[in-house]
Structures are given as C-alpha cells and as structure tokens.
Amino acid sequence: MLLGAALSLAAALTAPPTRAQDAPATEAWADVEAAARGQTVYWNAWGGDATINRYIDWVAERMDERFDMEVVHVKLDDAAAAVSRVIAEKSAGNVDDGAIDLVWINGENFAAMKRHELLFGPFASRLPNFALTVPAANPEVVTDFTLPTEGYESPWGKAQLTFYVDAERVQAPPGSMAALLDWARAHPGRFTYPLVPDFLGTTFLKQALIALTEDPSVLAEPTSAHDVATVTAPLWDFLDALHPHLWREGRDFPSGGPELKRLMGDGELSLAFTFNPSEPAAAVAAHRLPPSTRSYVLDGGTLGNVHFVAIPFNAAHKAGAMVLANFLLSPEAQARKQDIAVWGDPTVLDMDALTPEQRAAFDVDDASPARLPPEALGRLLPEPHPSWTEALEAGWQARYGDG
C-alpha cells in the first residue's frame, strides 16, 4: 500500500504543471518522503564560496543518510543561468523532465521565473518546517524584493548589508554614503566594490541609490512608473566622483564577495562589506581576516532581505526537492548554517516556535569583536522592486562596463 501511494504521488508530482499547480498537502508528507527516496536531486546554487559549498556537502550527506537521496550541487556563477535553462526547456516543450530540481535564487530571478510561469507550487506552506518561520509574524519570509512569494519559494536564510574595517587602519569608519566618498578621497585605493552584475556589487548600487535619491519610496514601485534617468542621476554622479579613488582607481573591480574579502585579508583594502552579517567574524575565526576586523552598519540602516529556494515547474524530482527544502528549514540545518564555524548565515526560524532544546542549538557563545550583536542589525531597509535591479545593472554596464 505504501509503494502504491508513493507511485501515485510521484505521478502527480511529475504531471505537466500550470502556474497554480498544487503541491501535496502537509497531511500526506509521509507520502512525499516515500516518493523522494532514491531520487537524485539536482540543486542549482551559487558555487563561489568554499564555506557555503562545504555546508551544501553536509546537507547532501544528511539527505543520503536519511532518505537515500543523492543531492548534486550544480555550482552556478549566476542564478540567471538557471532561469535561462528553464526558459529554454519550456520553449522546447520539456514540461516534466527538467534538469533543475531546486534552485537558490534572488528576488530578481524569482520575479523573472514568476513572470514566465516557470515555478512549481505553491509548495512552501506544505513543508512541515515552514510553520517554524511563523510567517504571520515575520512577513519577510513570504516577500521577495517587494513581491509576494505566494508559496512558490521557501525561505532559507537572512542577509543584511554589513560593512567591516580593519580597526588598526580605520579609527572612524564612514557612516553614510556621503561620508564614504569623503573617506575614499582621504584614503585612495583602500575601498572598492564588486563588479556589477555580481549580486554584492549590485547591492552596493541599490544601497547608494536609496541613500542618494530624492524620494526612496519610488523604488518600491516598478521603473515603468518613473523617469529612471532622473531617479538614478544622483547615483551616477556619486560613482563618477568615487571611482577615481577606488582600488586600482576604479579600472578593475573584484569579481565578487570572496575576492573582496581576500583583498581585505591581504591588507590591500581597509574597508569592505558583505551581505552576511556573520561573515567577518567567521573569516576572523578561519584566519582569513585579521583579528582587528570590526563590523558595523550605516547610520541610516542597510539593505536586508531573505534568500529563498524554489522548484522549477518542470523539475523531474519534485518530491526530492520538497524534502530537501524542508530539511533546509529544520532546526538542525538552520542552527548549523548559523554557526560561524560552518557558514554564519542567519536563520529564518522564529525562536518562539522552537522547543527549548531546539533554541539551545542557536545560542551563541561567541565574544568575537568582529561580530555585530543582533540589536545592531535592527535598521533594515527594504529591497527595491526587481525592475530597479535590471535598470541599475544596465546603467552601470553602459557607463563603466568597459573598465
């Protein structure tokens, strides 16, 4: 009977979907797990950080032990490549045997997949561990770059733009974008940002735009409702003034966050930033940044969001993808992910929803001066509408793309 139920569920999971296709109900979760056993799940996720890659390897080991599932980490330079793959498969009529089962995407790519009806679901509320995020009290777990996820994404971790300095070199770090420009002029070559469209480089542009534009509230609306050139003009003026004072005078840019961190570790930079508030402390613990590293956020707050995983509409192993997404939300996996000795990525779970034993796994016994206390991250600025990401990346490429 169990085999029959599993086969019936597998057939339902691989049926040609529509945008509104329902995932299996929570009460049938045992059947989802039964269908997932023995599957090979292809998880497309950014592969540019060895720390994250090791965490994903650990997840794969747990899925093999518990569900006889093989998790293959398909390492991406940019999640947009996964979106393009699914679009190509849909155009070719591949509706039930896609090469991607789970994908780690940002808000811009989620918007693109949602717009092209490339997502399976809604499935998030069907995951037993999703309830531990308490979405009614934490709306950020159901919103991605201003867009409601509607159950087509499952939250995985939190992020907030966090600056860090070598305190032996910088006694008074800049607390605003205007102050950053003044600081760069006074300390030429000691700061830079990643090459756009790397997500961290684009995040820097968005942070600057929020600080510099006359009315930041317009950024919550699509670009089609506004004069983009007028809104973004202060940003380009700022970058024109900043670039001559950057590392290598703005002629070259780091490829992404890992290279930016390496430049800090090598002493070439004195000021940098990350989208993971725990990363500086984790890097100090791993001897990749000096003990004199200190973290801070800008006086007016910094951009923050939740990052998610999603299942393409034509995933060949939807049951396995759901079981994997559910494990990623387990207290065990979330606590390990938050440990700075492992990754340091903040949890999306609501501590009030956990048992005392589960909460204990998240207790931080760490006096690292490189780590920001949770209360220091209170001023969170919302992400702009995804269309602003596209506009900023295109504008940057047009102005500075040739170096």
Yes or no: say if 75 and 339 are a contact pair by the CB < 8 Å rule.
no
Bond into 122 cis (ω within 30): yes
Contacts of 138 (CB under 8 A, 6+ apart): 348, 350
The residues that bridge with 222 in the sheet, in sequence order, are none
Helices vs strands, H then E, count in the chain: 14, 11
Global confidence as pTM? 0.81
CA–CA distance, 282 with 374 (Å, rounded to integer)? 15
Residue 82 · residue 103 · CB < 8 Å: yes
Peptide bond into 197 cis (omega under 30): yes
Same fold, 2-156+307-365 and 160-304+377-400: yes
Measured CA to CA in angstroms, residue 3 lies from 11, 31, 128, 326 at distances of: 12, 9, 22, 22
In three-state secondary structure terms, 361 is coil
- What three-state secondary structure class fits 256? coil
Category of 5 on φ-ψ map: left (φ > 0), alpha (ψ -120 to 50) or beta: alpha
Say which residues have a Cβ less than 8 Å from residue 398's Cβ, sequence separation at least 6: none
For residue 243, the tally of other CB atoms under 10 A from its CB is 17
**SS3 state of residue 132:** helix
Q: Rounded CA gap, 229 and 101, in Å?
A: 39
pLDDT tens for the chain, residues 1 to 403: 333 333 333 333 333 333 334 454 545 999 999 999 999 999 999 998 899 999 999 999 999 999 999 999 999 988 889 999 999 999 999 999 999 999 999 888 999 999 999 999 999 999 999 999 999 999 989 999 889 999 999 999 998 999 999 999 999 999 999 999 999 999 999 999 999 999 999 999 999 999 999 899 999 999 998 999 999 999 999 999 999 999 999 999 999 999 999 999 999 999 999 999 989 998 998 899 999 999 999 998 999 889 999 999 999 999 999 999 999 999 999 999 999 889 989 899 999 999 999 999 988 766 688 887 766 666 778 899 999 999 999 999 999 986 5
State the DSSP string of 222-237: -GGGS-HHHHHHHHHH
Assign domain 160-304+377-400 one CATH number from 3.40.190.10, 3.90.550.10, 3.80.30.20, 3.40.1080.10.
3.40.190.10
Give the pLDDT score at 61.
98
Largest CA distance in the chain: 73
CA dist 106 and 304 (Å) reads: 12
Question: How many whole angstroms separate alpha carbon 96 and alpha carbon 99?
Answer: 10
Residue with tokens 């290279």: 259
Measured between alpha carbons, how far is 22 from 121 in angstroms, rounded to an integer?
Answer: 5
pLDDT for residue 366: 62
Sequence spans of domains, the chain: 2-156+307-365, 160-304+377-400
Does the domain at 2-156+307-365 match CATH 3.40.190.10? Answer given as: yes
Three-state SS at 323:
helix
The DSSP call for residue 79 is T
